[in-house]
Structure 1
Amino acid sequence: MAKVSAEQLGSEPIGQLLVKQAVPASIGILVMSLNILVDSIFVGNWIGSVAIAAINVVLPVSFFIGALGMAIGIGGSSIISRALGADNHAKAVKTFGNQITLTLLLTISMVALGLYFVDSLIPAFGGKGAIFGPAKIYYVIVLYGIPFLALCMMGNTVIRAEGKPKFAMIAMIIPSVGNLLMDYIFIYLFDWGMHGAAWATTIGYILCFSYILYFFRSKNSELKLTPRCFVLDFPIIKEIGSLGFVTLSRQATTSVVYLLMNNILFGLGGEAMVAVYAIIGRMLMFALFPVFGVTQGFLPIAGYNYGAQKYQRVRESINKAILYASVLATAVFIGLFLFPSEIASLFLSSKEGLPESELAINAFVLEHTPTAMRWVFAATPIIALQLIGAAYFQAIGKAVPALLLTLTRQGFFFIPLILILPNFLGELGVWISFAIADVLATVVTGFYLRREIRTTLSPATS
């Protein structure tokens, strides 16, 4: 696979460049998503459906802390892409050093708090009844590996900002393969149960961190750090924070959604209903990998060319990214609409001798998941506009519109909907909230993106 240098981001044809950036990103996201998917299948078949629900309870807490690294990474990478486009290498290197310092300070502090409040956080996120015990086991072990995850998320976005998507792809593949291998050893062979699932995940994070450290210490990276780069610089920190806050807000909102969904669904159907949402959540992470890949590939292209004031190329990258992502999203929609029952059955144990309670949960999940999945993904064909539009404002350093558009779907529409509709429609009200929020958020994003193109990116300003 051909390498892409930072300079090529401003010179190669956009379509060709987008494919070079998006394909490795998509493959990396695919493998990472497959890891989450297969990990859930292993856990469901080898431990039980309650274990899947337990992991679903832990994810929003661990991912929020890990997302601090992603937020710092995306915020800083926007600066790095524009600095490289403007031929300001010193600022790019200084930004990277500050990203590392910030990530370590914030994530270690958050892990300490997360461990201290463990018995309060797990029930708050829906870890009640039979779910609490396995959720606590998984949570405590995985939290020790979260600083490594945060550094991986941060480093991966910087690698992509340098125009090295192949290495970013490998960094995403390594922990996934490592986790699945450890799953087989720890859960299936050693029969460690939730302990095994947690240690497999944590070891995967450490393997990823080791590879990213190798990349930045090798000749493949253009960002060579000196000790002075790690000293926090307030203007850079402020810019990283304003842009990274967009990503962090999105993840914080996602964590709030998990909290509300797990509690609302537990009230509607107990552990079994939470297990349905756990399967839906895995498919939300997995099925949209090509769309997320195009979005990730689009970010450095838009940021670099905006920094170089090549606005015609920015416009072209927006149009082609939306087109490519829309085609892929439609293909995903068709597959999920046609085969929801088959997908749900993959997560459930079919071995003989299951307890009656487990058999009852499996039957409930198989009955309720297909309808839920179809409603959740009903608006998938149009979400490309929403994702690319929000990503554009983040790529060019416009933090306020990026933040507002990022929060539009879940914060402004989805959360109010799931608080209101289930009171009138029950379970159905939960699932149709996904589609309604997607449609409304896409309309709002399309309006603001069109206005931005007509003003900042019009031919007259190119």
Structure 2
Amino acid sequence: MLTVLIGAILNILLDPIFIFALDMGVKGAALATVISQGISALWVLRFLTGKKALLRLRLAAMRPALEYLKEILALGMSGFVMYISTSIVQIVCNISLARYGGDLYIGVMTVLNSIREIVYTPLTGLTNGAQPVIGYNYGAKEYARVKQSIRMMTVACRAFTLAAWAVVLLFPHRFIRLFNSEDLMLEAGVPAMHIYFFGLFMAAFQFSGQFTFVALGRSKEAIFFSTLRKLLIVVPLTLILPIVGNLDANGVFLAEPISNFISGEACYATMYFVVWKRMLSKQEV
């Protein structure tokens, strides 16, 4: 937590200095980010080589072990696919919106993506926090606790997404005004927000199912569902829906809730039958 706070607070302090005081504009924002992340990284390195670390980093131990690298890469690949597919989706969305809505709707999508990241951050925290609990108890053959952990994670994620969905739909103006208060942005952004976040509550199943796969070392399923939601559902829908029924820009925003419903249900159902019913039930017997 301190590692994250160091980078975040430094970034907040350096942004106005570089952007306004030194009149560097966007370059100043970029420089502030690089400096703050660099200092945060140095603090982590100092901690991991200091006396407080349980296992210190030592040059003598920096020997690559292929068997561990393969496992680490396999488990980390789902997160990598998730982030890179999000970038690809944003590129495709901007291209489609430039054609069917113009710069105004590209700005709307930027605001919606920022709001989505605010909402998804607690979900990521919940699921990341549950992973070691699930993995540890599975390794200890405490399969009842694994089920309990999955159940609690799902309930927590579902409750949060339902609450977030209600807040976002009831107070869209306030969220948009955090980023832009122009009348045109509000006029275009409010209906777009209602469409884009309609399937938000289904994201709980995507997160719960996918991170359960990661916690249990089932990297293939985790990678598949990362790819399914973004690259196999959102990207094609983003290109197809705008020309269906003259939806135009609304078709681009509609791709997100549809993907949440399809991929969320598919991911959690697969987790339930593969992990809950097959792996855990058989182990309990």
What range describes the TM-score normalised by the shorter chain of this pair? over 0.9
Identity among equivalent pairs (%) = 29
C-alpha separation between the residues in 1 aligned to 2:4 and 2:61? Answer: 26
The question of whether the paired residues in 2 share the 8 Å contact of 1:243 and 1:397 is answered with yes
1:304 corresponds in structure 2 to 136
Matched, 1:337 2:159: no
Post-superposition Cα deviations, 1:395-437, rounded to whole Å, max 9, x if no partner, equal 1111111111222211221111111101221111111111111
Asked if the contact 1:312–1:459 (Cα under 8 Å) also holds between the matched residues in 2, the reply is no
Q: Which residue of 2 aligns with 1:396?
A: 216
1:426 equivalent in structure 2: 248
User: Partner amino acid for 2:12?
Assistant: L
The answer to whether the aligner puts 1:365 opposite 2:188 as a matched pair is no
Check conservation: 2:162, 2:200, Cα contact below 8 A: yes
Structure 1, residues 361-383: CA drift from partner, whole Å, max 9, x if none? x4432211111112221112232
Aligned residues: 282
Listed as ranges, the matches of 1:373-384 within 5 Å are 373-384=193-204
Q: Which residue of 2 aligns with 1:31?
A: none
> 1:242 aligns to what?
74
Runs of 4+ in structure 1 deviating by more than 4 angstroms, as ranges, are none
Q: How does 1:276-291 map to 2 (within 5 A)?
A: 276-291=108-123
Partner of 2:110, secondary structure, is helix
CA distance in 2, matches of 1:172, 1:438: 29
What is the alpha-carbon distance in structure 1 between the residues aligned to residue 133 and residue 52 of structure 2? 19
Using the TM superposition, give the Cα deviation of residue 343 of structure 1 relative to its aligned residue in structure 2, in angstroms: 1.9
Bigger shift: residues 337-346 or 254-263: 337-346
Spell out the pairing of 1:49-68 with structure 2 (5 A cutoff): none
Q: Paired residue for 1:213? A: 45
Give distance in 1, aligned partners of 2:80 and 2:121: 20
List alignment gaps of at least 5 residues for structure 2: none
For 2:80 and 2:37, the matched residues in 1 are separated by: 20
Letter in 1 for 2:148: E
Structure 1: gaps spanning 5 or more residues: 1-168, 350-361
Q: What is the rounded CA distance, in whole Å, between the counterparts of 2:63 and 2:169 in structure 1?
A: 51
Report the counterpart of residue 322 of structure 1 in structure 2: 154
Check conservation: 2:154, 2:208, Cα contact below 8 A: yes
Q: Which amino acid aligns with 2:220?
A: V
Distance 2:71 2:60 in 1: 19
Once residues 238 and 312 of structure 1 are traced to their aligned partners in structure 2, the CA distance between those partners, rounded to angstroms, is 30
RMSD: 1.8
- Distance in 2 (CA, whole Å) between partners of 1:382 and 1:262 is 24
Judged with a 3 Å threshold, the aligned counterparts in structure 2 of structure 1 residues 284 and 445 are, in CA distance, closer, same or farther, namely: same
Q: Does 1:445 align with 2:267?
A: yes
1:150-161 paired onto structure 2 within 5 Å:
none
Q: In structure 1, give the amino acid aligned to 2:37.
A: Y
CA positional deviation for 1:222: 2.3
Deviation at 1:460, TM superposition (A): 4.6
The 1-side partners of 2:135 and 2:23 are apart by: 48
Is residue 405–residue 445 contact of structure 1 (8 Å, CA) maintained in 2? yes
Aligned counterparts of 1:399 and 1:287: Cα–Cα separation in 2? 25
Matched, 1:268 2:91: no
TM-score normalised per structure 2? 0.92
2:100–2:242: 8 Å Cα contact kept in structure 1? no
**Structure 1 Cα separation of the partners of residues 55 and 146 of structure 2:** 25
Conserved? CA contact 2:101–2:248, under 8 Å: no
The Cα offsets for residues 100-149 of structure 1, whole Å up to 9 and x where unpaired, read as xxxxxxxxxxxxxxxxxxxxxxxxxxxxxxxxxxxxxxxxxxxxxxxxxx
Counterparts of 1:327 and 1:306, CA distance in 2:
25
Letter in 1 for 2:223: L
1:254 corresponding residue in structure 2: 86
1:58-110 deviation per Cα after TM superposition (whole angstroms, max 9, x unaligned)? xxxxxxxxxxxxxxxxxxxxxxxxxxxxxxxxxxxxxxxxxxxxxxxxxxxxx
TM-score (norm 1): 0.58
